[in-house]
Amino acid sequence: MLNIVILAAGMGKRMQSDLPKVLHTLAGKPMLAQVIDSARQLSPDRIIVVVGHGADAVRKAFADQTDIEYALQQPQYGTGHAVQQAIPLLVGGEQEGDTTIVLYGDVPLVQPATLKRLLEARANGMAVLTETLQDPTGYGRIVRNDSGQVQRIVEHKDATEQEHKIREVNTGILAAPTAKLKDWLGRINNDNAQGEYYLTDTIALSVQDNVPVNAAQPDANWETLGVNSRVQQAQLERAWQAEQAQRLLVQGVSLADPARFDLRGTLECGRDVFIDVGCVFEGTVTLADGVRVGPHCVLRNVTLGAGTRVEAFSHLEQATAAENVKIGPYARLRPGTVLAAESHVGNFVELKKTTLGQGSKANHLAYLGDAEIGAQVNIGAGTITCNYDGVNKFKTTIEDGAFIGSDSQLVAPVTVGKGATLGAGTTLTKDAPADKLTLSRTRQTTIENWTRPTKKQD
Ligand code: UD1
Ligand code: MG
């Protein structure tokens, strides 16, 4: 049986925020959600979050996630006291292999592979995740004996001058046998510089009970970096983004500048994809072979087919495009946009819940909402579907080969038949028949013998 306890009761004072620290985001996701996602990769029997400061807000943020349990720590008397609050919720303990892992809600990027290594290191004893730092100031130090075995952890504030020189530090993350951990937690006290119950004191108790303590190390340094301030949050964000950019480059994706790239979700790319500077990818984005994304675009839950190009400053959300589609510059694709192969959506064109058929073009200044547009249709500049009467939405259908003249308004529900042409400036309130010219405008007249007014003389 495996328990994962995530400590998230701390105040996070240095964030200078009304939002509980663990709800601040990293790569677009609350830090606590990042930790929970990594925890889930180990298929634990229980995930228990210890909440305190901002407990209600934290619970609310994860209300839809039924695999998470909460222990309330109020007030906060230290990391050992925090884990004590979770004891009633722990499962297992009868078997030697039953394990409890402790993670921190403000150490968001610890990776499943590292946690698996920690579990292996626990073996028949206990395991702590440690790191060797150039500047270990502030951290708990790993004290080993002459034969190199871990003996205890001493907090910076309690350490002697000699111990301050130790550069191997406690990341805070550990794995322990569940039954023994409960016992040790009952034996710790707060007789230390901070008057707190230290989780780290369980290490010395383990050694006392002849339970070996092993140390494991993370794959990368950023995995165990904690966030206590917005400065650290920004630094960790950049470290993580650099990591993701690097991974994509290795996979064969071209990034114009890996330092100006942001992924807040998952990005899957085919071969020879090019991404220009300043783009933000959110949710699940899939780019097929040869896709090019111009500078400063936002793509949120988007799928693009092979050879499709998105030009600068386009904003795409819940949209799909087939092969060789041209989008932008300055296009806005809202949820429910489906673009067929070879179609074009140009500058200042907004689409919502709209299908644009094969080879169809809306190249300039248009709003197309709740519309089904066939193949080889030309949408003139300034065309608007009037899809909303202030209460309900209505559908516009434009059949194959239709030509919509510039500055037309299509008052839905309405259908433009196959091959129909609408004259420029038409306000279409009734269906336009196939293959005919339909227009609604007053006839143009010229007033003969008209002269411009002249300024009156005094
Ligand atoms: C802790 C470790 C230290 C380690 C460091 C790594 C202890 C005693 N010390 O110190 O060895 O080097 O982390 O960053 O464990 N929390 C609660 N309830 C509490 C206290 C803390 O939930 O009563 C949570 C915090 O929200 C935070 C985590 O536990 O997520 C760590 O607490 P923090 O106060 O930052 O511990 P440190 O003093 O940094
Ligand atoms: Mg800390």
Q: pLDDT, tens digit, for every residue of 77-125?
A: 999 999 999 999 999 999 999 999 999 999 999 999 999 999 999 998 9
- Say if residue 250's pLDDT is above 90: yes
Fold adopted by 2-224: Spore Coat Polysaccharide Biosynthesis Protein SpsA; Chain A (3.90.550)
**Is residue 199 lining ligand 1, measured as CB closer than 6 Å?**
yes
**Which residues does 199 contact at the CB level (< 8 Å), separation at least 6?**
78, 79, 80, 82, 83, 102, 172, 174, 185, 188
Give 44 Cα–ligand 1 centroid separation in angstroms: 23
Atom of ligand 1 nearest to the CA of 12: 26
DSSP string for 61-74: HTTT-TTEEEEE--
pLDDT of residue 234: 98
What whole-number percentage of the chain has pLDDT above 90?
98
Q: Write out the two tokens for 243.
A: 């990591």
Confidence of residue 458 (pLDDT cuts 50, 70, 90): confident
**Is residue 227 lining ligand 1, measured as CB closer than 6 Å?**
no
Catalytic residue among 53, 156, 344, 364: 364
Note the pLDDT tens digit of each residue in 145-179. Answer: 999 999 999 999 999 999 999 999 999 999 999 99
Fold adopted by 231-438: UDP N-Acetylglucosamine Acyltransferase; domain 1 (2.160.10)
Q: Write out the two tokens for 400.
A: 């194959």
Among 79, 194, 197, which is best to mutate for testing ligand 1, by the most ligand atoms less than 8 A from CB?
A: 79
Q: Which ligand is nearest to the CA of 74?
A: 1
Q: Which ligand is nearest to the CA of 225?
A: 1
**Is residue 215 lining ligand 1, measured as CB closer than 6 Å?**
no
Note the pLDDT tens digit of each residue in 213-246. Answer: 999 999 999 999 999 999 999 999 999 999 999 9
Specify the residue for token string 């959110």. Answer: 282
Note the pLDDT tens digit of each residue in 179-201. Answer: 999 999 999 999 999 999 999 99
pLDDT of residue 4: 98
Rounded average pLDDT over 304-310: 98
What's the rounded Cα separation, in Å, for the pair 107 and 91?
A: 24
Report whether 406 belongs to an annotated binding site. yes
Question: Please, what is the Cα angle at 58 between 55 and 60, to 5 degrees?
Answer: 110
Q: Which ligand is nearest to the CA of 105?
A: 1
272 neighbors 258 (Cβ within 8 angstroms): no
Report whether 367 belongs to an annotated binding site. yes
Kindly report the average pLDDT of the chain as a whole number.
97
- Say if residue 409's pLDDT is above 90: yes
Question: Please, what is the Cα angle at 182 between 178 and 185, to 5 degrees?
Answer: 130
105 neighbors 79 (Cβ within 8 angstroms): no
Q: Is 127 helix (H, G, I), strand (E, B) or coil?
A: strand
Atom of ligand 1 nearest to the CA of 105: 30
**Is residue 198 lining ligand 1, measured as CB closer than 6 Å?**
yes
- Say if residue 11's pLDDT is above 90: no
Tell me the sheet residues that pair with 315: 298, 332
Give 92 Cα–ligand 1 centroid separation in angstroms: 25
pLDDT of residue 211: 97
Note the pLDDT tens digit of each residue in 271-291. Answer: 999 999 999 999 999 999 999
DSSP string for 212-278: -EEEE--SSGGGG----SHHHHHHHHHHHHHHHHHHHHHHT-EES-TTSEEEEEEEEE-TT-EE-TT
**Is residue 170 lining ligand 1, measured as CB closer than 6 Å?**
yes
Confidence of residue 50 (pLDDT cuts 50, 70, 90): very high
Atom of ligand 1 nearest to the CA of 78: 23
* DSSP-H helix ranges across 41-125: 55-61, 79-86, 112-122
Give 425 Cα–ligand 2 centroid separation in angstroms: 65
pLDDT of residue 28: 96
Confidence of residue 212 (pLDDT cuts 50, 70, 90): very high
**Is residue 105 lining ligand 1, measured as CB closer than 6 Å?**
yes
Give 262 Cα–ligand 2 centroid separation in angstroms: 27
Give 191 Cα–ligand 1 centroid separation in angstroms: 17
pLDDT of residue 148: 96
DSSP string for 379-417: E-TT-EEE-B-SS-B--EEE-TT-EE-TT-EEESSEEE-
pLDDT of residue 102: 98
pLDDT of residue 448: 96
**Is residue 140 lining ligand 1, measured as CB closer than 6 Å?**
yes
386 neighbors 371 (Cβ within 8 angstroms): no
Question: Please, what is the Cα angle at 274 between 290 and 331, to 5 degrees?
Answer: 90
pLDDT of residue 298: 98
Report whether 387 belongs to an annotated binding site. yes
Q: Is 364 a catalytic residue?
A: yes
What whole-number percentage of the chain has pLDDT above 70?
100
Neighbours of 260 (CB within 10 A): 16
**Is residue 93 lining ligand 1, measured as CB closer than 6 Å?**
no
Strand 168-177 to strand 99-104: parallel, antiparallel, or no bridges (unpaired)?
antiparallel
pLDDT of residue 245: 98
Q: Which ligand is nearest to the CA of 138?
A: 1
Q: Where are the domains of the chain?
A: 2-224, 231-438
Q: Is 13 helix (H, G, I), strand (E, B) or coil?
A: helix
273 neighbors 292 (Cβ within 8 angstroms): yes
